[in-house]
Structure 1
Amino acid sequence: MAFIAALLLLFFSAFSQGNALSLNYYTKTCPDVEHVIAQVVREATSKDKTVPAGLLRMHFHDCFIRGCDGSVLLKSKGGNKAEKDGPPNVSLHAFYVIDSAKKAVETICPGIVSCADILALAARDAVVLTGGPTWDVPKGRKDGRISKASETVQLPAPTFNISQLQQSFSQRGLSMEDLVALSGGHTLGFSHCSSFQNRIHNFNLTHDTDPTLHPSFAARLQSICPIKNKAKNAGATMDPSSTTFDNNYYKLILQKKSLFSSDQALLTIPKTRDLVSKYASSKKAFNTAFINSMIKMSSITGGQEVRKDCRVVN
């Protein structure tokens, strides 16, 4: 496993070196790009408060497969089933926001800005619009030409334990600190029952529900997601303030009220448990860690071109 992890790390770092990012990448070629994208994201969010969560999750899912190359934006074509149609991605939404931003950017500087950069900037804007911190996004990503639904099995699953999470992140050059900080993105959004069903029904031979779940919280989830759930879109918000970027996610883990096994798993070893406690008690500490880890994750690069249309290769 260590050998495979080392190979993957070399693979990603080779990509990164061949595709150096910079804060002032568009200063001369498209100086207004960030303003234009922010405006599109702001308008979309004013009409639909779930847009920021969608954009942040989309960026994460993009970066974890082949690097941050916009491959999650490509549509399936012919015999190729694209990433967006892979099981973990069918619930991704807000693709239209990236399309709108691309259209607006193409109007002012055609053929210059990659879809991967637009998604990275939109994810940052999503955090800012929901009350989170801001940061300077390194730019210069290229768009990838390959997108396979089969590769989405590489995404960390909500059922993962701590060693599975650690392996998934370390294969991408991300540390345990990055794991805990980036998990804080779960402060935004909504989850369907399928992502936490394993914790509330037939958990194991001795418990129907996961004993690490608070009993009243487990009962509430069972009422929302009965064992023979018929409601297609049934589920729960990631936390009670699911449209606000805050540190409640960490407080809820400590109260045994987090949705996913992968959230609760952060308490199973001292290193990650200490970080959960730190971020639960200090929003400032969380914001700082989140910024650092977002920059690190979004700098895993990959692609080869600047797409004219984010949904199809040139």
Structure 2
Amino acid sequence: MGIGRQNWAATWTATGDAYCRLADLNINKRVFDMATEAWLCALTAFEVARRLVADDDREGADVSAKVEAGVQRFGLALGHKVESVQITCCDQIEFSAHYLPAGTPNLCAPAVICVSSEEEKGATLLGRLLPVVIRRAMSVLVVSHEDVAHHSRAESKILLSHCLDHLSARPDVDSNRIGVYGDGLSAALATDFAAYDNRIAAAVCDAGIWNWTRTLGSIGWITSTADDSDKDVVSACRSRLARQLSCPMLVVAGGRGVVSVSEAIKLQADCMTLGIDLDLAMPQIIQGAPGGQVDNFVTSDDSIFTWLEKKLTRAAAP
């Protein structure tokens, strides 16, 4: 990691630590709203630092540990209880997930199953999302990628269905308004799950592009000189999995995601022709950041959950 990038990471980590101290001071003064703001600022600062040290395992692990500790302290100190729940599945498979309820216990709110990227734990993703979801009337159940992906494709879909079962059984969740969000490679898991379980009301996923791209690489007869009939076949193949989803989809293209902008635009055009509800989101890139480009994850996460909120609100309509 370059010296400039390392210095910036240290600066953002120190900023996060300072906000943690400020939160503790405000808690002691019983100024809880200000303490909440400080905690959320700390978590955002740690996420920036974590991205800057992504190529350094030791420092990345240290920052991730600060995020995990911050999530727990945030809940304990300010009453935003982050529950650790156990998801028990077939064949005695059991794993932990983090649940953040929305509003009051009497509020029957929408919920989103969030699956972390392949590079991070569920607690790390929750730390990043807390500033985005804390004031929305929406619950989140955050699952680690490794707990789902380290099984067969069929088992992964069943595991996520058990997560949906858990949410559906909760009195504070509206079982008709449950969505799924897959970050990074988990976007492909979210697609498979939404196609498998039609109870999902909205999906932030890859709409099949990841599997499509891998398949395309093994099809020798599809070339840049393909005639119009071949292009029709390509279009049909590209949208095949998307057609299996009965819910609205949001595909995040570019940035750190697994979906290329060009393929996402082609898929959206195919879906528009077929009348499939598919939207695109493209993360803003911060140019001139130390060590290269950095995704503006704050605006990206906000746009994703604004979309989810809109679609899950519509799902409540009779």
TM-score (norm 2): 0.30
Structure 1 or 2, whichever has the larger Rg, is: 2
**Relative contact order, higher structure (CA 8 A, sep 6+):** 1
| Greater strand fraction, Structure 1 or Structure 2 | 2
TM-score (norm 1): 0.30
